[in-house]
Structure 1
């Protein structure tokens, strides 16, 4: 999903990971099974220490979802990937 319609910045979610690109930042990826920390900063969030910003409302919703995914994956036995 491109936030600006240019496909130069935005984010996408798949079954296994969250991918994003922010202005002036390199592309990022985090696998849900490797989520360690999701933290709200001022108007953005950090995911495993990496900057993420999709707007105040989406940031809040995504932060809640990622925290739930982190708990879900923590309860599952590790798979050999």
Structure 2
């Protein structure tokens, strides 16, 4: 389990590298880690959306998403 300073570093990396970028593909490698959602439903819900920001909450780092990215 990462420690809070490590999580803060990951939050900063997300802010620099992922914020505002569209989610192109969701790959679930271990469906046993999902609770209350199927891999298919997670993929449908996230692909095409944009990351907005990550908010550290203790050792958790939930990454928020916004609206779907515009299609070309």
TM-score > 0.5 by shorter chain: no
Max Rg structure: 2
With a CA cutoff of 8 Å and minimum separation of 6, indicate the structure with the bigger relative contact order.
2
Higher strand share: 1
What TM-score comes out, normalization by structure 2 length? 0.30
